[in-house]
Structures are given as structure tokens and as C-alpha cells.
Amino acid sequence: MPQSGLQRQIAASGRSQGFTLIELMVAVAVVGILAGLAWPSYRNYVMRANRSAAQQFMLDIANREEQYMLDARSYATGSTALTSLNLTVPTAVSPNYTLSVAAVTGPPVGYLITATAIGNQLTDGNLTLSSAGTKTPTSKW
């Protein structure tokens, strides 16, 4: 039976085409090293994105609080504050932060919005926003 051109090349070189186990292990090692370097940067990016979503929602709450103050002559605080403001916590925020609105008895009277970190966001810490515009911690805003 006559040999094809590829079979003649393999027979002549004494070696088959393809990857050796060593070449495959080197490629896997390189991918592993690159993934090890990229993972912390990715985690920081996700943490910052989660924090940004919470900050945006806190600013939305503050905006609604000021509108509520004009209508009701008081701020919406306590466990029903978000309901009074017709707000629901977005799905991008709820797995990472628990939000609360507390009254500040003053003077001046105001509110304090607190986003308490939960889950994977715990290492990032809590965020607060007051009716006076004070944002803490300042390094996170």
C-alpha cells in the first residue's frame, strides 16, 4: 500500500506532529502565572465597581430625602425610609451592602445614610453620607 505525503514525512523525521507533554506543561504554567498576576487587579476592579454602585444609590437617596423634606417638612428615616422615598435597593447593591437611613437630631436636623459592607465587600468597609454632604471615609469617595 503506498504511503501518503504526510506519512512519508513522519516516517522520514521519526517524529509525529503535535505538542509534547513538556510543551503543554510550560503553556499551562505560563497561563497560571498570568492568571495569578491578573486576579488581584480583577478583584480590586470588582470591589470599586460595587462601591461605585452603592455610592450612586446613596446619592439617589440623598436627592429623594431633600425632595421629601420639601413635601413633608421632615426627613424619612428609620426602617421605612426607603419605602417612604419610593426606592428599592438595586440588585447591583443588595448583595454587597445593607443600607440604612438614620435621623440626626441636630441642630441642624438631618439624616445619615450608611452603607454597611457585607459579603465579599467586607474588606472595603462601610460608607456614610450625611445631609450636610459629609462623605466618609474620604479616601473611598
Report percent pLDDT > 70 for the chain. Answer: 89
CA distance 57 to 46: 17
Cα distances (angstroms) measured from residue 6 to each of 10, 18, 93: 6, 13, 60
Going by pLDDT thresholds of 50, 70 and 90, the confidence category of residue 134 is very high
Let me know: does 128 contact 118? Beta carbons within 8 Å.
Answer: no
Per-residue pLDDT at 8 exceeds 90: no
19 or 86, which is more confident: 86
**In the predicted model, is pLDDT for residue 101 greater than 60?**
yes
Cα 124 from Cα 132, distance rounded (Å): 24
Q: Where in the chain are the domains?
A: 20-140
Who's near 119: CB < 8 A, 6+ residues apart?
95, 96
Burial class (CB in 10 A: 0-12, 13-18, 19+), 7: exposed
Strands in the chain per DSSP E:
97-104, 110-117, 127-130, 135-136
Confidence band (pLDDT; 50, 70, 90) for 61?
A: very high
Residue 58 near residue 126 (C-beta atoms within 8 A) = no
User: pLDDT tens digit string along 26-42?
Assistant: 999 999 999 999 998 99
pLDDT tens sequence across 74-92: 899 888 888 899 999 999 9
